[in-house]
Structure 1
């Protein structure tokens, strides 16, 4: 009985996240999103019936589908400037910013704050395009990544880069109009920004470890090249994006506040 009493006391003082481990993973992640960034639930749907027009990575990255999405997006961006020559590189850069901007922050939040690891394999993620062709929302078939359950935050985000983001970037760049470095520069700036957004929710040592692993290590954990290396760099006493995202080249789109060309 003494042993049982000690166990009851031990688990009664355990963090709430461990006491809720019997909840469905989707329920736990949904609660995290509501608590920390409720607006994420407008564009990230956990389980549920994905709409008929939602697309897997293998579907939206086919030449035919990709060209259709870019045509529709270009039609919208250039609709007030029909005679202006379309530039594929900045158009795809902005499309990719929509894609990774809607997807990556909630995945980072889930992987860092939930004790169980969400399986972020591309086959579990479906893109729902907007009528104009840009990314509008994502639908995730929630599965636990058993192999990542006991990994720390750095290991989980490294796994996200290797198993999820690299295939997605490759799917965009293989069409030939944009280089991977530009997408990684944009995505690195996004990930660094969101680590700052998590500052009040995670230990400072964890945030610093993630920042170092993502942006100051030349290699990922498995020894392969780290595509996020120096995508943000120390400059003017702070961490800034390394290069311009090119969006200003599109009609009626101004430089972003963090543009490297702002001072020129």
Structure 2
């Protein structure tokens, strides 16, 4: 069971202390779903009808509320999403408006001494972020991935080892278009919806201009098949599905965010490495499985298919490499440049300063 409350990252602590608004307070209007242009292969026969998908959603949501109640407040599997689609919130005009609202909640330290009138003026708020815009985009990305990744790790583990279904869930893809967000009034991501749709549809191959990092051999979704497998087979299947999630969802999400912001890809991958490592520890996995996943995800430069592993060297692991131990970021998240925030306890800048002092004796 996920160990709630242990070694919670700074972002999660901030969410509980500063932003305690419940889901009912989140305001977002339903929009028309826009689907990227796709090239297709042959049609596949439906493995699940609508009732089956509703059951899958209900079953997962119940398990998530039992295992990770904090995330169950902010993530839901559904067949009727009402939030902003990936292609909608990532339109430059929409994203900039979200960042504008976010800037009011997290002004730069250089603006902390200015008048309230100046801080609430839209043009001046954007102007005063000229030197710390990377920090603002970085923190917004932390909120986005912080709401998305832990519940999806729960999904991957549950459909592999726990969820019992009469039929397989076939070609259930995890592309960004399957996830919808509800923004908080402050502009950050408040809640995420995981859209479970029917599988009697073409198997999509993303257009390269829209999902640049995906390769043809990465376009099929996860084969969520519940059968009687050995623990070793389950572990290998979990590992493969995590990698598929990285390739089909996280990689194109980072690609899109870097097109919208001045923050470099390595900053977002640092967030993801830290988050994934932390939550794997929270899941109380067997030590052998945790160590194997840590080695494959963070200490291997390429995946089994030969593609580059973007999580490689994204974090500095502690020597013990135990689930209860943390890790140190390789890249500063820059949150210390913003007001209403504070420096992370394991900030690499602090660690480097300590190392320099120790070297000087």
Do they superpose with TM above 0.5?
yes
2: CA distance, partners of 1:180 / 1:245:
12
2: CA distance, partners of 1:234 / 1:207:
13
Q: Please state whether the residue corresponding to 2:288 is helix, strand or coil.
A: helix
Are residues 1:112 and 2:147 paired? no
Judge conservation of contact 1:26–1:142 (CA < 8 Å) in 2. yes
1:31 aligned partner: 62
Q: CA RMSD in A?
A: 2.5
What does 1:63-78 correspond to in 2, within 5 Å? 63-78=92-107
Deviates more, 1:141-150 or 1:242-251: 141-150
2:338 aligned partner: 250
What does 1:1-264 correspond to in 2, within 5 Å? 24-47=55-78, 49-51=80-82, 54-78=83-107, 81=114, 82=119, 85-86=128-129, 87-115=132-160, 119-143=173-197, 147-149=223-225, 152-199=237-284, 202-235=285-318, 239-263=327-351, 264=353
List per-residue Cα deviations over 1:131-187 (Å, max 9, x = no partner): 121111011112585635377111000000000001111111012411000010011
2: CA distance, partners of 1:67 / 1:157:
31
Q: Show structure 1 runs of 5+ residues with no match.
A: 1-20
Q: Please state whether the residue corresponding to 1:64 is helix, strand or coil.
A: helix
Q: Please state whether the residue corresponding to 2:239 is helix, strand or coil.
A: helix
1: CA distance, partners of 2:146 / 2:293:
18
Alignment length (residue pairs): 240
Deviates more, 1:111-120 or 1:55-64: 111-120
Judge conservation of contact 1:119–1:142 (CA < 8 Å) in 2. no
1:12 aligned partner: none
2: CA distance, partners of 1:22 / 1:45:
13
Q: TM-score, normalised by structure 1?
A: 0.82
Specify which structure has the bigger relative contact order, considering alpha-carbon pairs within 8 angstroms and separated by 6 or more residues.
Answer: 2
1: CA distance, partners of 2:244 / 2:222:
13
